Structure 1
Amino acid sequence: MAQTDLTALYRDGLAHQQAGRVDDALVLYRQILALKPDVPEVLFQLARCLSERDPKAAEAAFRKALKGKPAEPAIWQGLHGILKSGPRAKLEREAARARIPLGTEAELRPALSLLSKGQAAEAEAAALRLMKLAPVAFWPAYVLGQARLAQGKNAVAPLEAALRADPTHAKARLALARALSAAARPLRAEAVLDGITGPEATLIRAKICRDTARPETAVALLRDIDAKGPRPATDLALSLAQTGQGAAALSIVRPMLSHMPRPDLALRNLSAAAEEAGDIAGAEAILDAALDAAATPDLLTHRAQLHQSAGAFDAADTALRAAIDANPTGGEAFRAYMNARKVTADDPILSHLDAALTRADVNAPDRAALHFAAAKAKGDLGQGDEAFDHLHKANRLMAKAFPYGFDSDLAEARALVADWDVLEPLAPDGPADPVIFVTGLPRSGTTLVEGILAAHPRVGAGGEMPFLTRALSEVMERLRHGPSPQEADLAEAGARYVTCARRRVGDAAVIVDKAISTFSRIGHALRALPNARVVLVKRDPRDTGLSLYRNKFPDGLHRYAYNLEAMGHYIRLHDAITDIWQARCPDRVHVVEYEALTAAPEPQIRALLEAVGLPFDPACLAPEGTERRIQTLSFAQARQPIGQGSVAGWERHAEALAPLIAALAQEVDLSPDATP
């Protein structure tokens, strides 16, 4: 047979092998070897195919390949992967003498040492170097995955590679389950954990439950865990807090505080979880306990923000002044203080803010927050140019800390709207609870519209609730990775959502949820909740952009907001995806124009209530009188009567907003084949 024919057979064999058709590949490799028995490349691939089904035959093929290419690391590594005990140790000694990397645990010890010292980035670099030299070995891939996990990076690919090298390695399976959970793959994570018992597996399962809107199941798992110490206790407390049991959560962690490396952070997280579940008293008690132990500036600031949400501005100011006294460069305390008021020239905090900005020892996060605070103060004082100078500095710092990539958002938007092809044929079979999702861009007026609805006696408003994303997480995984979701999957997601939302808002007839992220998943939400309606708030994008640029968001969220050009593209992306959902679900999406609402509130409010199936109630005309917590950046504005003070504010700053205005002129096409 001609050489070209053998090459074609080898190429076909590789194609079969890569597609998982091992038997077909073996036929072709054996056909080649029958004609040319000593081809190292073919022997190597034959050995790889035989590694699991016939290790002895694989070993013979690897050794024969090694005779033909004694300096080829891949052959050494393949042989090393199937040997055990003495023969394996002997090969390691031979490889060391020949300076052939095998990717052994011994070779990874320097990287493991770095990882144990908390130097995860350095460990990642070391493991990656060895993985390039030994791509099919277990240890480089495993350590690389662990290093990435330690940094909060996506570690799925290297850990999957590690398990391909050693499918029985229990710690690698646990690590892969953690990585999959972090990558929003709960179903796959649970499958990886199947059959694994022990405390670590239980902790991972409990986290998956919390991330998929099942905190009650997490509590049940963790109550039975056979492990002691701060981590199991903290996880149980966090799960209890997510079920609205803040007092019980505090009682569990209080005896453990002295053993925790960051008790203040643990308590702050517990407080946030209790607050999220609607247990405000529990959240405040947890923070007060933390403050009794150590009144750190961060805790004082967070306690102040809880006071602001409740409208207790005097108590908030007391806590913020204490935070500033304790940390004169703490940017978040200054920012929270300025956001709560119309700043006047005689405010004594201004001199402290100026002093903080002149210091050279301020870290980047604090400096960004200080510039946002200064921008608010300068704006209130009518010093527009100076305000924008601070805004540009603040936003540059945030953009550097949290880089934004439009292409990933564009790809995600296209995938979300394409999901409708799968979702539309499914009959809605979820809970019948009436839910009103109020959504739109941040700073577009969603808090005002939520306040109008919250004033209605039949409504329970929960603010920006995170439960829809969690409840839909398994549905989203099926949409991205298969198998396709069915009616029962959507019904289960709807039920999980309602359980969590009801815990937060109580037994009101109608749930109102102001989660901004709903805009991209309108179709998904309406399929999971057959009686849900969506209120989409739209505002002049130039005013929205100005307000976005003036505000700092939680770390990692709304990254587009820190660059005016990127913001313009994102706003048009938002318009494109919401236009599609309006067209596909016209009877269940109602649009409120912010400018029209503020110009003539009553007719707009009547139309809004009719669209969501609520009878008119005059209380909705004065939402500022509603006693409720406001947990958004608009906590101060929302307590003012409906007005047009923020309409067309962009006109005074048109020159500074030029990059935004130019980007807004470019439409975004969500067609799958459109260019970015």
Structure 2
Amino acid sequence: MTKLSEAQLKQHYDQAMKLQAAKQHKEALSHYEKMIAANPRIPEVHFQVARIFTEVGKPERALPHLQAAAALRPAEPAVWRLWAAAVALTAEPEAEATFLAALKLSTLPPAVKLRLQDRFTPGHAYVPSVPDEVRAEVRKIMPLMKAKRFTEAELMAASLLSRNPRCAAAVNLLATAQAKQGKIDAAVANYNKAAALDPEDAEPLNNLGQILIEAGRLPEALEAFRGAVVAAPCMVPALVHLALAMRRSEQVVAALPFALRAARLDPSDPMPLVILGNLYTLRRDFESAEAVLRKALAIAPDRADTQALMAQTLARLGVDQEAMTHFDRALQLQPDLPLAVGGKASLLQTLGRFEEAEPWFRRSLELDPANGETYRGFLVSHKVQPGDPVVDEMIARFNDPKTTDANRVGFGFGIAKALEDLKQYDQVFPYLRVANDLARKVNPYDVKVRHERVAALLRSMDSRDWPGEPVPGASGFGPIFVTGMPRSGTTLVEQIIASHSSVTGAGEMNIAAKLGAKLLAADRETLPLGDLAPGAIVRLGEDYLTQVRQRHPDAARVTDKSIQSYMYLGLLKLAMPKARFVVVRRDPRDNLLSIYKNKFTEGTHLYSNSLRDLGEYYRTFHEVIEFWRARVPDWFYEVQYEELVANPEAETRKLIAACGLDWEDACLNSHQNTRKVDTLSVFQVRQPISKASLNAWQRYESHLGEMFEALGDLLPEDTHAAR
């Protein structure tokens, strides 16, 4: 323990408070941490640390400090109020139970204790303190609001407020009447005033958040909804609105606890379940999404949005016929629902039915012209021709100040693709860079974490002697894993293999890597593979087969194009000795440029938005493949994309043989395969194999300096000579 004198402690505290007031939280925490290291029994320090973590949206990190502060200062209401706020903002049952148990034993005044306890009592409704005479006048205003006579309601509420200037209920009514008339600034001011007059009333803050959302002021709306949840952690509408606002700001993981809490509090309300379904879908947890959406449909089968979300989820799970049925039901209920119109277009697109998809995409663009993602999705299978109005439409939206950053990302990628179709290569990169920079702003990425993860994984794998003894009882299932970097040609290679009559193309199942990561995970560390019991490895193979059978019950042999499987190649081979691994390689310049030009599913491939990170990430991919090459070189087969497209028949024959399959001519005509393809290559794999994408990097070499630097010695020697 570092010793500090009283004077030194005071100096740290004073400096920390100044930094905290200036919102320099990291610097303030540094001072507080030094104080805690020297003396962990200063309640004010724990309290201030908790304030910072709660304010910056990390309430879970505030909890231990609040628990410490409460133990040191058990009769201080401010500590318990902040603890209640942090618990409300975690929305976690365990945190709530811990708080309530400590609160029950606290020495707080009974009235304070009861009010804090009531916040977490389901069904408890906070009743603002309103004098009888004011209550009577409030009742006269309510019929005016219901009759939509908002001007009269505003006048009456203003009159009431002039006579009762500290009546929060009157201010809330006045703000609502003003909001209904479009007087947004006045309404915002008065909702804030009502919340300040009665901080325990969640209604003004919940109302405030809703009008801020409508006004496009999302960050302010988030703060309002957080305040409402703090005041009333069991108020389902506030929880729902906060989850929705977080979803809109792409805080998908953070939104989940609030939607889950709302669903627990009111199982009869379909809305929290619908939100959960959407959040699970965005996290690619389609099984959970399906489960909650089926519950929502059981409660309210005629909700068009729920039908459309179920269709979207089932399409991701490969249950395409049922998905189409749900899309059609949604369109029957609400013909102009963008989610259903655009969803049906996307499903038809993944099925290769491009001509059928186009009118649905066109209709979707008409219904939601400000949605950049719809344009981007449409252009995946639409080749722009000179004079196509879609280009000017996108550029106008991209340049419109009212366009949100999220939509500008979609438009940016769409414009770049359209300009490339038109061979206007010199105009592509400005849009591409803006789109990637905006996407990176929303989802920042630290490539150092990737390097650390790969290093930890390889240490784990190196704890075993390779190839070593087989694992007794390992699965006899033999999937064909197609793995490599995104946009390297993995979809094409899988399409070729899946064109064989004995193989079912399962696409990106995202099962194997998750099972491998789960098996090796322990308290933020990576377990040594050499320490795992053989039974655990056997169970991995069994669990993989179980999940595959849920999706493809009758398939004798499947391809699995989950690209992260190369990370766990050795472990998966131990669990399934009959598995085959095909690693697809492509010139890193073309490969990484192609990644940079495309937008991936939200929350995935976050390294893709930085040219430097792309180069660094490729280095880790190369490192892992070389690790396996040095230990088990005969456990995988490599396909070089450039060689495949230059000599399709010769390379395809070698590929099919490497998969342990007899030759079939259909494998040479993989573009005629009608199976579903749910990747960015959905259009390309329906075309005959072509060399058109080779050396595309040369068009943009002047923009790729950061990527080249990061690639370093992995950069092909002809890079600068190619110009």
Give distance in 2, aligned partners of 1:460 and 1:311: 17
- The reply on whether 1:469 has 2:513 as its aligned counterpart is yes
Letter in 1 for 2:590: D
**What secondary structure does 2:633 align onto?**
coil
Letter in 2 for 1:462: A
- In the alignment, is the contact (CA less than 8 A) between 2:315 and 2:347 conserved in 1? no
**What secondary structure does 1:552 align onto?**
coil
- In the alignment, is the contact (CA less than 8 A) between 2:566 and 2:625 conserved in 1? yes
Residue 415 of structure 2 is aligned with which of 348, 371, 374?
A: 374
Give distance in 2, aligned partners of 1:488 and 1:510: 24
**Comparing 421-430 and 622-631, the one that deviates more:** 421-430
Give distance in 2, aligned partners of 1:491 and 1:168: 49
**Comparing 499-508 and 352-361, the one that deviates more:** 499-508
Which residue is 1:353 aligned to? 394
Give distance in 2, aligned partners of 1:611 and 1:331: 42
- The reply on whether 1:387 has 2:428 as its aligned counterpart is yes
**Structure 2 CA distance for partners of 1:481 and 1:605, relative to 1, 3 Å:** closer
What TM-score results when the alignment is normalised by the length of structure 1? 0.66
Which residue is 1:397 aligned to? 438
Which residue is 1:254 aligned to? 297
Give distance in 2, aligned partners of 1:141 and 1:414: 38
Q: CA deviation at 1:365?
A: 0.8
Q: CA deviation at 1:322?
A: 1.7
Residue 303 of structure 1 is aligned with which of 338, 344, 355?
A: 344
**Comparing 443-452 and 523-532, the one that deviates more:** 523-532
1:113-262 equivalence runs, <5 A: 122=55, 124=57, 135=68, 137=70, 144=86, 147=89, 229-230=269-270, 252-257=295-300
**Comparing 559-568 and 453-462, the one that deviates more:** 559-568
**Structure 2 CA distance for partners of 1:164 and 1:469, relative to 1, 3 Å:** farther
- The reply on whether 1:278 has 2:356 as its aligned counterpart is no
Which residue is 2:376 aligned to? 335
Give distance in 1, aligned partners of 2:272 and 2:576: 35
- In the alignment, is the contact (CA less than 8 A) between 1:301 and 1:333 conserved in 2? yes
Could you give the per-residue CA deviations for residues 183-208 of structure 1, whole angstroms, max 9, x where no partner exists? xxxxxxxxxxxxxxxxxxxxxxxxxx
Q: CA deviation at 1:274?
A: 2.3
Identity of aligned residues (%): 29
**Comparing 298-307 and 573-582, the one that deviates more:** 298-307
Give distance in 2, aligned partners of 1:166 and 1:521: 47
Q: CA deviation at 1:164?
A: 12
Q: CA deviation at 1:426?
A: 7.2
- The reply on whether 1:535 has 2:582 as its aligned counterpart is yes
Which residue is 1:518 aligned to? 565
**What secondary structure does 2:374 align onto?**
helix
Which residue is 1:409 aligned to? 450
Letter in 1 for 2:430: D
Q: CA deviation at 1:592?
A: 0.3
- In the alignment, is the contact (CA less than 8 A) between 1:243 and 1:503 conserved in 2? no
Give distance in 1, aligned partners of 2:571 and 2:91: 30
**What secondary structure does 1:311 align onto?**
coil
Could you give the per-residue CA deviations for residues 270-313 of structure 1, whole angstroms, max 9, x where no partner exists? 33442343311122223333344444334432321111000111
Residue 582 of structure 1 is aligned with which of 629, 632, 636?
A: 629
Could you give the per-residue CA deviations for residues 520-553 of structure 1, whole angstroms, max 9, x where no partner exists? 2212222222211110000000001111111011
- The reply on whether 1:494 has 2:537 as its aligned counterpart is no
**What secondary structure does 1:613 align onto?**
coil
- The reply on whether 1:637 has 2:684 as its aligned counterpart is yes
Residue 652 of structure 1 is aligned with which of 678, 699, 703?
A: 699
- In the alignment, is the contact (CA less than 8 A) between 1:395 and 1:562 conserved in 2? yes
Could you give the per-residue CA deviations for residues 203-252 of structure 1, whole angstroms, max 9, x where no partner exists? xxxxxxxxxxxxxxxxxxxxxx996553897789999x967997x98764
Q: CA deviation at 1:267?
A: 4.8
- The reply on whether 1:548 has 2:595 as its aligned counterpart is yes
- In the alignment, is the contact (CA less than 8 A) between 2:384 and 2:418 conserved in 1? yes
Which residue is 1:508 aligned to? 555
- The reply on whether 1:436 has 2:480 as its aligned counterpart is yes
Letter in 1 for 2:435: A
**Comparing 121-130 and 610-619, the one that deviates more:** 121-130
Give distance in 2, aligned partners of 1:168 and 1:299: 53
Q: CA deviation at 1:507?
A: 2.3
Letter in 1 for 2:330: A
- In the alignment, is the contact (CA less than 8 A) between 1:463 and 1:631 conserved in 2? yes
Residue 458 of structure 1 is aligned with which of 502, 507, 517?
A: 502
- In the alignment, is the contact (CA less than 8 A) between 1:127 and 1:143 conserved in 2? no
- In the alignment, is the contact (CA less than 8 A) between 1:244 and 1:278 conserved in 2? no
Give distance in 2, aligned partners of 1:233 and 1:137: 36
- In the alignment, is the contact (CA less than 8 A) between 1:102 and 1:137 conserved in 2? no
Give distance in 2, aligned partners of 1:127 and 1:243: 27
Give distance in 2, aligned partners of 1:504 and 1:629: 14
**What secondary structure does 1:591 align onto?**
strand
Give distance in 2, aligned partners of 1:623 and 1:464: 18
Letter in 2 for 1:435: P
Give distance in 2, aligned partners of 1:496 and 1:396: 39
**Comparing 140-149 and 582-591, the one that deviates more:** 140-149
Give distance in 2, aligned partners of 1:167 and 1:646: 68
**Structure 2 CA distance for partners of 1:312 and 1:592, relative to 1, 3 Å:** same
- Unmatched runs of 5 consecutive residues or more in structure 2: 4-37, 72-79, 107-116, 118-264, 716-723
Could you give the per-residue CA deviations for residues 637-671 of structure 1, whole angstroms, max 9, x where no partner exists? 00011121111111122112222122211569xxx
- Unmatched runs of 5 consecutive residues or more in structure 1: 1-10, 15-71, 78-99, 112-119, 172-224, 669-676
**Structure 2 CA distance for partners of 1:127 and 1:280, relative to 1, 3 Å:** closer
- In the alignment, is the contact (CA less than 8 A) between 1:451 and 1:626 conserved in 2? yes
Letter in 2 for 1:283: A
Letter in 2 for 1:461: G
Q: CA deviation at 1:573?
A: 1.4
**Structure 2 CA distance for partners of 1:641 and 1:160, relative to 1, 3 Å:** farther
Q: CA deviation at 1:141?
A: 6.6
For these two proteins, the number of residue pairs brought into alignment is: 504
Give distance in 1, aligned partners of 2:387 and 2:277: 48
Letter in 1 for 2:299: M
Residue 445 of structure 1 is aligned with which of 482, 489, 495?
A: 489
Give distance in 1, aligned partners of 2:100 and 2:698: 59
**What secondary structure does 1:322 align onto?**
helix
Give distance in 2, aligned partners of 1:638 and 1:500: 27
- In the alignment, is the contact (CA less than 8 A) between 2:398 and 2:408 conserved in 1? yes
**What secondary structure does 2:521 align onto?**
helix
**Structure 2 CA distance for partners of 1:231 and 1:531, relative to 1, 3 Å:** farther
Which residue is 2:363 aligned to? 322
Give distance in 2, aligned partners of 1:589 and 1:159: 50
Give distance in 1, aligned partners of 2:670 and 2:104: 59
Could you give the per-residue CA deviations for residues 108-133 of structure 1, whole angstroms, max 9, x where no partner exists? 9x99xxxxxxxx97484788779657
